[in-house]
Amino acid sequence: MYSSATITMKAASSSTSLFFISKNPNFNSKTVPILNINKTHKPKSFSFFKSLKSIQSPKPASQNPNQSSFSCSAATLFPAETTDLLPCKLQRLITEFQSIPEPVDRVKRLLHYSALLPPLPESSRVDSNRVMGCTAQVWLEATLDEDNKMRFRADSDSEITKGFCYCLVSLFDGASPEEVVKVKTEDLAALNVGLVGGERSRVNTWQNVLISMQKRSKVLVAERQGNKLFEPFPSLVVTKDGIQAKGSYAEAQARYLFPDESKVGELVNVLKEKKIGIVAHFYMDPEVQGVLTAAQKHWPHIYISDSLVMADKAVKIAEAGCEFVTVLGVDFMSENVRAILDQAGFQDVGVYRMSDERIGCSLADAAATPAYMNYLEAASTCPPSLHVIYINTSLETKAFAHELVPTITCTSSNVVQTILQAFTQIPDLNLYYGPDSYMGANIAELFKQMAMMSDEEIAEIHPKHNRNSIRSLLPHLHYYQDGTCIVHDLFGHEVVEKINEMYCDAFLTAHLEVPGEMFSLAMEAKRRGMGVVGSTQNILDFIKQRVQEALNRDVNEHLQFVLGTETGMVTSIVAAVRSLLDSMTRTSTSSSPTIKSVQLGDFVLPVIPGVASGEGCSIHGGCASCPYMKMNSLTSLLKVAHSLPDRKNILKAYEADRFKSQTRQGKSVADVGCEPILHMRHFQANRELPEMLINQVLHSSSNGR
């Protein structure tokens, strides 16, 4: 799912608007929701120039403060050649700054240009003209003149950023929209100007202002041609006083943010009485998440997380004295919980699913096929070989795979580090990843990009790798070609085009399971500080961090996020933002208003539901969501809880049974299948593969398995 929200934060009051992308009837695609965040405080004067005490800005040249725009010929950067093509102007600008060897002198040049930038009137310094992703406040005004040429004006509260704005306006003012859109962000990468240690944020400013120029050019052209880019989004406006919903889809979301207190009380009472704990995945049914979030305040043994830590939380629940653990997720999750509890010595703790039917997973199903086993059979003939399997697979699959090729599980948050570490510990390793084909392709593409990075940049990702080692591992990295998540598969070409068209200036997040085009788009945003690619937890942490940074700056702020994963993730985003807003309100009222640091701490997950039917989004509903996850209903949860302990044996089909079957080598499926999980846990704790796994790889290399 893609979703968006706008968050407006004020010293005295706070509000959040959550917007969902609606489906354009003329655009046949699987569309997505979008998240915009606005922060508003009483404006405070801020100037990056003030920190540069040793650098003096030249006095502004005489200029008309009411001047609405200026052409390239009026800019001292390009005093002649008014007919220069934009690429020539850009190359001249790059050459100019590259000819200045000292960073402090490049900053002085920017300060000189900042003095030449005509100021925007206060009427133009509004949130609708803000440029997202810049450390300072930047305002950009764009118009399309009678000759179909773009006219730009810009301003900033930072002297250095004003210099950036002057250069970019000098480049693009008077250009055609086509010329503006044609320039790529990497074309500005050579404009690496700024203070030592701050180069990345400076490059981000160049690129983010460019992206904003391009978006506004597209919008103006569409308006002149009479084209409507998109229909209004449904939205949620979240304030400290409540939530306002606009559009029937948003109304459905808001309904579950304040769950039925009688249901909450019923659940809490039965959980306490029967000592039942709950582990639930982020993608749960909205009604369930709403009730669970409220119940957490009264019963601490309820955890909502990604699949990586569900089993860990189950162990915590058992250690706290709970006699039962209910698992709200798909079947491989309950299998993992059962196996890890057994390994931890809690065989007497009951584990229960939420349906008497199979709760499947398209990825788990892909790995449980003869084709996947054939893939591993081939891998076993190329020693030394290691199989890295996504945790979203059944225990039985893990067991059968481990007997064919030594196996370690991974998640989307640790898969890159797992692979990099494996290649450092096992010389001449052949590594096989599966079953998610998109993730495999994205990992391979990521390593190809790393191979073009500097050794220093690579060392920041993994200290024992460099450009040569990354290049050498590429031919030895293999991934399965026929496994996808049915939700992330929706984020294809048409969605990417729509994001490029309407949300190119937003923070872009993407799960590692999305198709390649979406992955590349998010990686490009990541390179300019405007995106993240990773797990659901990585996405959530990124959004929280950006909101926290906005709160810590005492300036007006406008943030927009595009969320690239299942619809259930919007829940945790709204929860985190509301918690931040509440913390800001408490800090402002109980302490000094000048205190900016707000600690988020643990957060809860209220509900923003997706609609179980339909692909894509409209103002009336139908967001991409996992139908398997939605099989975990509140009714089932209450039924299981009330029926425990199961003396009448009515929950037999709900129980997460231990595997009593055996592998081809006559070993317990539960024991063998749990071993790759334990290998991963060792890696998480020690940042290296366990010696047992290394020996298994080398042993299979010499004797076969």
Angle, helices 331-343 vs 669-686, to 10°: value is 80
| Torsion angle (degrees, nearest 10) of CA 281, 287, 291, 296 | 20
Joined together, the tokens standing for residue 279 give 């582990």
- Selecting among 134, 322, 361, 674, the annotated active-site residue is 134
| Cβ count within 10 A of residue 229 | 13
CA 31 to chain centre: 17
Q: How far is it, in rounded angstroms, from Cα 204 to Cα 416?
A: 25
Q: How far is it, in rounded angstroms, from Cα 440 to Cα 116?
A: 50
Residue spans of alpha helices (H) in 386-535: 395-404, 415-425, 437-450, 455-461, 467-473, 493-502, 516-527
CA angle, 676 as apex, 674 and 679 as ends, to 5°?
110
Residue spans of alpha helices (H) in 42-198: 86-98, 103-116, 159-172, 177-182
Which one-letter DSSP state was computed for residue 631? G
Q: How far is it, in rounded angstroms, from Cα 34 to Cα 216?
A: 18
Joined together, the tokens standing for residue 495 give 């969605």
Joined together, the tokens standing for residue 627 give 């139908």
Q: Are 463 and 340 in contact (CB under 8 A)?
A: no
| Cβ count within 10 A of residue 678 | 17
The residue assigned the tokens 């006083």 is 241
SS3 431: strand
Q: How far is it, in rounded angstroms, from Cα 507 to Cα 51?
A: 28
Q: How far is it, in rounded angstroms, from Cα 584 to Cα 354?
A: 38
Q: How far is it, in rounded angstroms, from Cα 436 to Cα 362?
A: 10
The answer to whether the Cα torsion of 435, 441, 447, 453 is positive or negative is negative
Tell me whether residue 674 is one of the annotated catalytic residues.
Answer: no
| Intra-chain end-to-end CA distance of the chain, in Å | 42
Half-sphere exposure of 35 (CA within 13 A, CB side): 29
Which one-letter DSSP state was computed for residue 123? G
Q: Reply yes or no: is the peptide bond before residue 384 cis, omega within 30 of 0.
A: yes
Q: Are 622 and 614 in contact (CB under 8 A)?
A: yes
Nearest to 415 by CA among 373, 387, 395, 394: 387
CA distances from 8 to 234, 592, 594, 595 (A): 17, 21, 18, 18
| Cβ count within 10 A of residue 594 | 8
CA 689 to chain centre: 27
Q: How far is it, in rounded angstroms, from Cα 195 to Cα 103?
A: 6
Q: How far is it, in rounded angstroms, from Cα 563 to Cα 529?
A: 16
Helix (H) or strand (E) holding 511: strand 507-511
Joined together, the tokens standing for residue 479 give 């991934």
Paired residues of 279 in beta bridges: 303, 327
Joined together, the tokens standing for residue 595 give 């205190």
Question: Which DSSP string do the residues of 314-348 spell out, in sequence order?
Answer: HHHHHHTT-SEEEEES-HHHHHHHHHHHHHTT-TT
| Cβ count within 10 A of residue 238 | 26
Residues noted as catalytic: 134
